[in-house]
Amino acid sequence: MSTPRPPARLSVVVPFYNVGAYIEDCLDSIARQTFGDFEAILVDDGSPDDSAVIAKEFCLRDPRFRIVEQQNAGLGPARNTGVEHATGEYITFVDSDDLVTRHGFAMLVRSLDQTGSDFAGGNARRFNNSYGVRPSWLHAQAFTADRPATHISETPQLVLDRMVWNKVYRRSFWDEYGYRFPAIRYEDYPVTLKAHLDAVTVDTLAAPVYFWRERESGDSITQQKFQLANIRDRVVSAGLVLDEIEDALPTIRHRVHAHFRQIDLHAILSAFGTVPPEEEQHLVELTTELLDRLDEAVLVNSPRLAQLQFAALRAGDLELLHKVALEPDTVLENLELTKTDLTMATSVREVTWIDGELSIRGTAEIRHLQSKPSNLRIDLVIAGKNFRLPVRRFPATDLRGEESLVGFEVRVSRELLAKCTAGPSHFDVRLRVGGIRRRDLLRGQKAGSPGWPPGAWIDGTNWIQPGPGKDGAFAVRRLSDPCRLTSVEQTPDALVLHGRSTFDEPSLFVSRPLSGGEEAVPLDVHGRDFTAWLPIGPILAEINPDDPFSQRTTRAFRVRGPEGQEQVLLWTAGDRLVSHAESGRAVMLTRSTGGYVNLHESPIRMTATAAVAAGNMLVVRGPDWGEVDFSWRRYLPDSDDHVDVACRRTVSDDGWAAVVEMAELEAAEWILFATAPDGTSHAVQCEPFLSSRLPLIVNRARRTYAVRPLAGTLHLEVT
């Protein structure tokens, strides 16, 4: 007789319904976990497509997976069914169109084993094929740091932690409180918040453990927010949460009410712009139901446009509700302005080096006063001391989409940059319009060079690196004699790194920031100069990616001295990546957003390294890693359907070039796609050094063409 398998430590509940296009990738990401002691309970919620066939085939290949069938009852009841069949010490949930990181379960279980907390949660990323991978806003607020054994009363931003799936729960805790998901959409939040309140302690991890799919078609639950049935469930879910916090600490209660006002009530009020006439009264009733549950203290502190919507709702003024939903700026212009409306807005739109000076171009304006004459002062604040900068002003697009005198450029000289310290030096912005004065730090970094700001030497030993500082405001730092990569050689089987250390007898280590662990890199050291050999073969052979969507693993480099000194290795080796492609995979040595050395390994994804306008043609170039066709693609609203405009592809010793006549691209947002001979396609990646040179803005025939990087892919906005 065969010996029965002992119960797995972790039960993974995966309900599925009509996800044939996604479920295999989801299950594969679970199977790849570094934590292998799990059982996966796949709950077929009466799926009408081939999802069950795919799931059953997967179960045959991997005995850790088994399937449970039920008639269609919805995601919440399907999760409840999965829990009933689970046998593990711990339990977690995965939605069948999402992905989990290979190290996620291991990190969460390890944390619970160490702390004894009731559950642990980690950060999350959003992803799709058009925009790549980017942070999930809600999770970026809640999971800012590793916090073992904390609680929502100590970390009140955890009220924003609405989802159940980025967590591992102790099964005894789950059973003690008898959690069950309601048979509605938005079923996560009532369970998740109650668990936060019931727990003795919880653990939070800043590392991403979960990848949350955003479908181009907009057919996920959270993307169907304007459908009446969806709104009804959203209001019911909010009511369950508000019931739960009735006797909670005031700070928790206030944050939850404020969150529902800011997110849920705002989204529901926006539905008045699209609601069919026969559903208007139902929408009024549902919106009023949520509005009446929220504390008046939260409502009176809302923006005045929101307060106007509240008043219109209570008065039954559907005409005004429609107008605010469709034309909020027009309505706001007709309101009497108050001090709270007249806030300053700044942006950083371009960061470059010109004749050895740091040039920063952006906008500064006081909301609703854009068209009036103004005085602008910008100082660089170094160690608490202000240094006034010369400001050049010019017309630019303001918050209303009009051209007005809101643009500015400041240049910071080498002499002033030399006064900067290793700590961030910020830009203090003061703006006066008539008698109205506003002051703030320079903020609002846009896509392109502001997000990937280029650094530069200002003398033989001092490097200036722009980037985010306090509270994400734009800043500059001076790095004195940093550990740096000075050049790279490429041999057929290795990358040869040349660098210089700040200290004697350096050692070099390569690590994987997302999953942990490090390895020493052999060095040939001459004083403080060193040479490192990085064989490509072992990197390509280890196909175990940290990013389950792009299948990319990122490695970083640290230099250590004999007395424990440590620095991250800075990139000062020119403005081009070094790449090697082999057997369908690619290795790229490049820079991070902060200017440090990164090594990326992934399946081949066509990567753009240059974008230029040549007459009426837009030309994008990159290394030639295989036979593909290029096209600019735009997705139709709320659909996976798309329109492609083919590019002319040429190949030379420098790589590929994708050429399109700009007049062929109508006003829309376009993404550059590469399509292989087998029909598979992917968005072209935007290499970091190209990102640091963007945006590329071209004006042709009364149209503006703006090439920008978004979440690592190359986009073109035509207006």
CA distance 550 to 205: 22
Instruction: Judge whether residue 42 has pLDDT over 90.
Output: yes
607-718 and 484-603 share a CATH fold: yes
* Per-residue pLDDT at 333: 74
Query: How many other CB atoms sit within 10 Å of the CB of residue 476?
Result: 25
Q: What is the pLDDT of residues 547-590, one digit of tens each?
A: 898 889 999 999 999 998 999 999 999 999 999 998 889 999 99
Q: Which helix (H) or strand (E) holds 513?
A: none
For range 117-136, the mean pLDDT: 91
Concatenating the DSSP letter of every residue in 335-358 gives SPP-GGG--EEEEEEEEEEETTEE
* Per-residue pLDDT at 3: 55
Spell out the residues 6+ positions from residue 653 whose beta carbon is closer than 8 angstroms to its own. none
Identify the band that residue 609 occupies on the pLDDT scale cut at 50, 70 and 90: very high
Backbone angles phi, psi at 637, to 5 degrees: -55, 130
For range 669-696, the mean pLDDT: 94
With both helix axes pointing from N to C terminus, report the angle between 228-244 and 188-198 in degrees, rounded to the nearest 10. Answer: 10
Average pLDDT, the chain: 93
Identify the band that residue 371 occupies on the pLDDT scale cut at 50, 70 and 90: low
Q: What is the pLDDT of residues 403-435, one digit of tens each?
A: 899 999 999 999 999 999 999 999 999 999 988
CA distance 85 to 44: 13
* Per-residue pLDDT at 402: 86
Is residue 507 within 8 A of residue 520, CB to CB? The reply is yes
Instruction: Judge whether residue 478 has pLDDT over 70.
Output: yes
For range 212-219, the mean pLDDT: 69
Whether omega for the bond prior to residue 695 falls within 30 degrees of 0, making it cis, is yes
Instruction: Judge whether residue 373 has pLDDT over 50.
Output: yes
Q: How far is CA 503 from the centre of its chain?
A: 36
Can you say whether residue 345 is alpha, beta or left, with left for phi > 0 and alpha for psi between -120 and 50 degrees? beta
Q: Look up residue 684 and give its DSSP letter.
A: P
Q: What is the pLDDT of residues 173-182, one digit of tens each?
A: 999 999 999 9
For range 383-391, the mean pLDDT: 97
Domain ranges of the chain: 10-213, 225-314, 340-477, 484-603, 607-718
CATH number of 484-603: 2.60.40
| Burial annotation 646-660 (CB, 10 A radius, 16+ → b, else e) | ebebeeeeebbbbeb
Concatenating the DSSP letter of every residue in 301-319 gives TS-HHHHHHHHHHHHT-HH
For range 390-397, the mean pLDDT: 95
Q: Which CATH architecture has domain 340-477?
A: Sandwich (2.60)
CA distance 682 to 677: 12
Spell out the residues 6+ positions from residue 507 whose beta carbon is closer than 8 angstroms to its own. 520, 523, 559, 560, 561
* Per-residue pLDDT at 382: 98
Q: What is the pLDDT of residues 465-474, one digit of tens each?
A: 999 998 889 9
CATH 2.60.40 for the 607-718 domain, yes or no: yes
Least confident window among 43-47, 272-276, 646-650, 693-697: 272-276
Instruction: Judge whether residue 1 has pLDDT over 50.
Output: no
Q: What is the pLDDT of residues 219-277, one digit of tens each?
A: 444 434 568 899 999 999 999 999 999 999 999 999 999 999 999 999 999 999 988 99
Q: In this structure, which topology does domain 10-213 adopt according to CATH?
A: Spore Coat Polysaccharide Biosynthesis Protein SpsA; Chain A (3.90.550)
First-to-last alpha carbon distance for the chain, in angstroms, is 71
Residue with tokens 């071209």: 698
CA distance 713 to 133: 9
Question: Quick one: 471 exposed, middle or buried, by C-beta within 10 A (0-12, 13-18, 19+)?
Answer: exposed
* Per-residue pLDDT at 342: 86
Q: Among 323, 332, 310, 218, which residue's Cα sits nearest to residue 273?
A: 323
For range 509-518, the mean pLDDT: 85
